[in-house]
Each structure stands twice: as C-alpha cells, then as structure tokens.
Homo-oligomer: A and B are copies of this chain.
Amino acid sequence: MAETAEEKRQRLIGLAKQAVSKAYSTGEHSIAQAINAYNEIEKTRNLLHERVEEWYGIYFPELTLGSAEKYTRFVLSAGSNKKQASEEKLREIFGEGSKEMLTWIRQSIGAEPEESEFKALSAIANAELELLRTEKEIDAYLKDNVPKLMPNVSYLVDYKLAAELLSKAGSLNKLAVMPSGTLQLLGAEKALFRHLRSGSKPPKYGVLFKLKEVTEADRRSRGRIARLFATKLSIAARADAISRRFIGKQLRESIDENLKRIREKEKSMPPAREQHAAGRGYGGRQRQFSRRFRGNRG
C-alpha cells in the first residue's frame, strides 16, 4: 500500500524530530549554555552583594567579613534591629566567631533601617542567596557532565574551564580541529583584533588565564605555559571528539615535565624588573595598555 500524503508528512516530521534530538543529544549545547549562565549569574551575584554591603553598611559600618554569604545571611537574620539577632542564629552563621560578633553588635554606632526599607534590602539579599544556590546547582551539573563529554580535556584543566573552552569554540568538533594557537587565544579575541589592527602587543592567552599554573608563574613564562597547555588541550580535545580514548594521564605527565623545564629556565633568568613586578596581578592585556601609554609619554 502506497503512503498517503499525511503518512508521508508524519514520517518526515518523525525523521526531523530524530535529527533534532540527535544533534543535541551530546549535551554540548547545554554545557555551553550552563557555563555562560554560570558566569552571568556569578557577576550579578557579586554586583548585588556590593549593593547589600553598601546599603547595610550605613547601619552596621563595623561589619567587615571576608565571606559575602555570611554577610548577607547576617543581614537577613539581623532584620530591622540587629540587637535582636538571636545568639543561636549567629552561632549558625559565624560558628566560633559569634561571641565576637555580639560585641560588635552591642558597640555598633549604626542606626537601624526602617521596616519598609529593610523589606527592600532583604529582597536584594534574598535574591543574592538565591543566585548562589543557582550557581551551585549549575556547578553540580557541569561537574557531572563535563567529564563525561570531555574526559581528556577536563583531566588537564578544571571542568569549568573545559566548559568555557567548549562554549567559546562553539562545539567539541570545532575545538578538536582548531589549531592549538587558536585554542590558546580563545576568549582573547578583542585583544587579538586590536593587535592586528593597531599593532599593539599580541595577547598570550584568553580564558587560559584562569589556569593557576599561568597566574602563579613568573610573568615572562606565562605565554610559554599557556602555549604548552594549548598544545596538550588540543590533543586532548581530539581524543575526546574523535578517537574517544583516554590519554589524559600521559598528557598530564608531559605537561608536568615541561612545566619543570620552564621553571628551571626561570631560575637562570635575571630577576624581574621593578616596573614589571608592579604590573603583576593584572591581566596581560591591561599591562600592555599601560606599557603603550608609558611609551607615548617617554
């Protein structure tokens, strides 16, 4: 019996559905979405926290804590009268430090917010904590799923960095066929094109700047270390996308060996000059800028 037009339509729709499902079944798309959302949420949470500290700061200027979460939880439990914050609650938030906190509260020169004002402030504080919870959920998702998709890449670098590389490249296949020099500069597109356009110094790394191996190194070795990682990550991505064999261990060993060599080389270098040491802690791009301006002035 020949297929009717309607049957054909249904069959084709079925095929299309399968194709759509298959295209997204690798989870690459969701990992890219997740890491981008994570970065956006982290940024906003920090903004909201600054807002909370700036706002509540006028009511309790003495309170300076290293932990944003503890600060915000305290604000919420203090309510519109910090002296009413229960000892139990304080112990829950600050642990050992709760006694000291009681003293701070008693001696504070800050006034108290009005009910309606505290309501607005606490809405922001609650939003901040909600974003923190969201971050943790996304983080758990990435931790579970990135190593499944990219066992080799995520063996060499943190799973969040692996996800970022994937998202910046567009897909695992694109990451795999990418020259390692391109991989090295993923995330540094702006600096790269500025370099091509205006002849400023070329960037040494993009998202790879998040590697502690890079940040902790002498600044003159950073480019070298980023290049080393890019080379090995490129091989790892190929293994993840194409051969699907686990070669992470060998790659990691090779990285460690090379790092050792680079560090030995560092020892024979003259000490870093003062003006460079002062630039430490900034990204390479910012430093380039200041160097250019210095050049213009001199």
Contact = CB atoms under 8 A, between A and B. Distances in A.
B124 A138 contact: yes
A114 B24 CA distance: 11
Most chain B CB within a 10 A radius of its CB, from A30, A40, A51: A30
Nearest to A141: B120
A277 interface: no
A119 B145 CA distance: 12
A41 interface: yes
A241 to B, nearest CB: 20
A286 interface: no
Interface stretch (A31-39, A64-72, A151-159, A205-213): A31-39
Contacts of A25: 111
Contact of A58 (B24, B36, B37): B24
A298 to B, nearest CB: 24
A45 to B, nearest CB: 9
A119 B134 contact: no
Main secondary structure of the interface of A (DSSP, over half): helix
Contacts of A44: 40-41, 44, 47
Nearest to A41: B127
A110 B20 contact: yes
Interface string A125-144: 01100110110011001101
Most chain B CB within a 10 A radius of its CB, from A21, A30, A116, A123: A123
Interface string A192-229: 00000000000000000000000000000000000000
Most chain B CB within a 10 A radius of its CB, from A113, A141, A144: A141
6 contacts: A17-B109, A21-B111, A25-B111, A27-B117, A41-B44, A116-B144
